[in-house]
A and B are shown apart, each in its own frame.
Chain A
Amino acid sequence: MTQPTKLSAEALLILVSLAEAPKHGYAIQQDIALVSGRRLGPGTLYGAIARLESGGLIEALSDSGARRPYRLTPPGAKQLGAELESLKSLTRTGMRRLASR
């Protein structure tokens, strides 16, 4: 079984944003700022979108246009779920260790 590619923080934020509904670049940027308080720069955002699309984790809904929406693909949803589970486990362990200090 091949190990899934590790996600960068930006890629994870984009996948979380697209888990709600398909969005175009500007809407993804706004949603990430709202959810995480972090504003991704345009170069970082589209760099991550390009990598996610070429990795098959997201796909564009229409062929052209300046406001092309993207959506999560089934492999993208699966990898996001695995990544969030891993973070949940890390968070649980961290909180338990903090509480036992």
Chain B
Amino acid sequence: MRPELILRLYPRAWRERYGEELLALIETQWPLGLGAWLDLLRGALVAHLHPLAADRDAARSSKMTARPAIALRLTMWVPLVAVSIAAAMVLIDFWFGRGNDWSAWFSLAMPQSLDLPQVRDVYFNVNGTWVEYFTFKSEELNDLALHLKMLALAFAAALMWAVVARRLTSRNRPL
């Protein structure tokens, strides 16, 4: 990859003003390590979110005012909401055991009998009598645990995205 291609990631006015200098600096460090690549990508993203006056004017005249920042702000909470909905669906599915009955998702009525994923079991108590009890099937619990673990990871990633997006679009960004 040629170093000039990196500059295409930056807004036009930014590139015209600082492109030549940035390129000269990059060439002193070529080939770049992973850290420098990530740094340039972050720099390009920040340059789009906080454009120079010339880029802001160009965006305004083409009716694209602050489009990246607005898009980022709009998408900030989408992953969090999606993961929360998925977590609710997993729990409802486990509880009602109605994963395939889509009409149940839209019904507010409680089911007549709870179709819990349970198995009947018995044990002897201290008096020597049979005691009957119900328990969840272990595979159901394992599935639930696996789904919740995956959702916890997705939730952490969504939260990190929200924090990063909030920081990047902050209006009180220091110089």
Contacts of A47 in B (CB 8 A): 43, 46-47
**B28 interface neighbour in A26, A48, A50, A55, Cβ under 8 Å:** A26
A44 neighbours in B (Cβ, 8 Å): 39, 42-43
Which of A26, A29, A55, A66 has a CB less than 8 Å from the CB of B20? Answer: A66
The chain A residue with its CB closest to the CB of B22 is A46
> Interface residues of B, CB < 8 Å — how many?
30
**A50 and B39 within 8 A (CB):** no
Q: Collect the chain A residues with CB atoms within 8 Å of residue B40's CB.
A: 41-43
For chain B, what secondary structure do more than half of its interface residues adopt (helix, strand, loop), or is it mixed? helix
Q: What are 21 of the A-B contact pairs (CB < 8 Å)?
A: A6-B172, A7-B175, A8-B173, A25-B21, A25-B22, A26-B24, A41-B35, A41-B36, A42-B36, A43-B22, A43-B43, A46-B25, A47-B46, A47-B47, A50-B47, A50-B52, A51-B50, A54-B53, A57-B175, A66-B20, A66-B24
Distance A61 CA – B18 CA, assembled complex (angstroms): 14
Interface residue ranges, B against A (CB under 8 Å)? 14, 17-18, 20-26, 28-29, 35-36, 38-44, 46-47, 50, 52-53, 172-175
Query: B175 contacts A52, CB within 8 Å?
Result: yes
Q: How many Å lie between the Cα of A16 and that of B172 in the bound state?
A: 22
Chain A binding surface SS class: helix
- Contact: A67 with B21, CB < 8 Å? yes
* Interchain nearest-CB distance for B1 vs A (Å): 15
- Residue of B18, B21, B174 with highest tally of chain A CB at under 10 A: B21
Q: A interface, how many residues as a size bin?
A: 20 to 34
Q: Is A11 close to B, CB under 8 A?
A: yes
Query: Nearest-CB distance from A60 to chain B (Å)?
Result: 9
When distances are taken between beta carbons in the complex, the residues of chain B under 8 Å from A46 are 18, 21-22, 25, 43
A11: chain B residues within 8 A (beta carbon): 174-175
Which residue of B is nearest A76, CB measured?
B175
> A5 at interface (Cβ–Cβ under 8 A)?
yes
Q: Does A92 contact B (CB under 8 A)?
A: no
Given contacts A55-B175, A67-B24, list 15 more A-B pairs with CB under 8 A: A5-B174, A8-B175, A24-B21, A25-B24, A41-B35, A41-B36, A41-B39, A42-B36, A43-B42, A44-B43, A50-B47, A51-B50, A51-B175, A66-B21, A68-B21
Interface assignment of A49: CB less than 8 Å from any CB of chain B: yes
CB distance from B5 to the nearest CB of A (A): 14
Which chain B positions have C-beta within 8 A of A66? 20-21, 23-24
- Inter-chain CA distance A38–B6, complex, in Å, is 23
